Amino acid sequence: MSETLGTAAISRVRRGALQVGDAASAASPTPRPRKRRGRGRLRLEIALLTGPAIIVFVGLVIFPIALAAYYGFYKWQGYGAPTDWVGLNNYKLIFTDPDFHRVLLHNGLIVVASLVIQGPLAILLALLLNQKIRGRSLIRILIFVPFVIS
């Protein structure tokens, strides 16, 4: 009999027809949500740890990029404040210049060549460092000391 009462209460829960006095509601009360403590403290810690890095990144990367874009809209001699607004004419001039196209091609060749040469060379060097050969520690020292010193 109690088994029938339990299944009836479960079916009423599924249908959403559970009353306050039912057996299922007395057996499993709804837990109250817990308050999170220290959330403001965590945010302060994140701000203190990332703040200096963000300031340096904005000062050394974002600000120069924005300033270069700003100067790109003016005729500017490289010193003083730019005063002659030329709009997009500087960009139109640079994209129609054959020297600029040649420079882009050379930079692209350098990127491709460095990937083709440095990638396999780095893998071979890593495999060499992993082999059990005579003088392995000397090779590791000669490779890693310049990184550590700089």
141 lies in some domain: yes
Over 90: is that where the pLDDT of 26 sits? no
pLDDT average, residue stretch 97-107 = 96
Q: Indicate whether this model's pTM tops 0.75.
A: no
30 pLDDT tier (thresholds 50, 70, 90): confident
105 lies in some domain: yes
Write out the H or E segment, with its range, that includes residue 111. helix 98-130
Provide the domain limits for residue 141.
Answer: 97-150
Our count of domains for the chain comes to 1
Whole-number Cα distances in Å, 49 to 38, 44, 55: 16, 9, 11
32 lies in some domain: no
55 lies in some domain: no
Per DSSP, what are the bridge partners of residue 74?
85
Q: How far apart are CA 126 and CA 118, in angstroms?
A: 12
pLDDT, tens digit (0-9, with 9 covering 90-100), for 11-20: 555 555 555 5
Beta strands in the chain (DSSP E): 74-75, 84-85
122 lies in some domain: yes
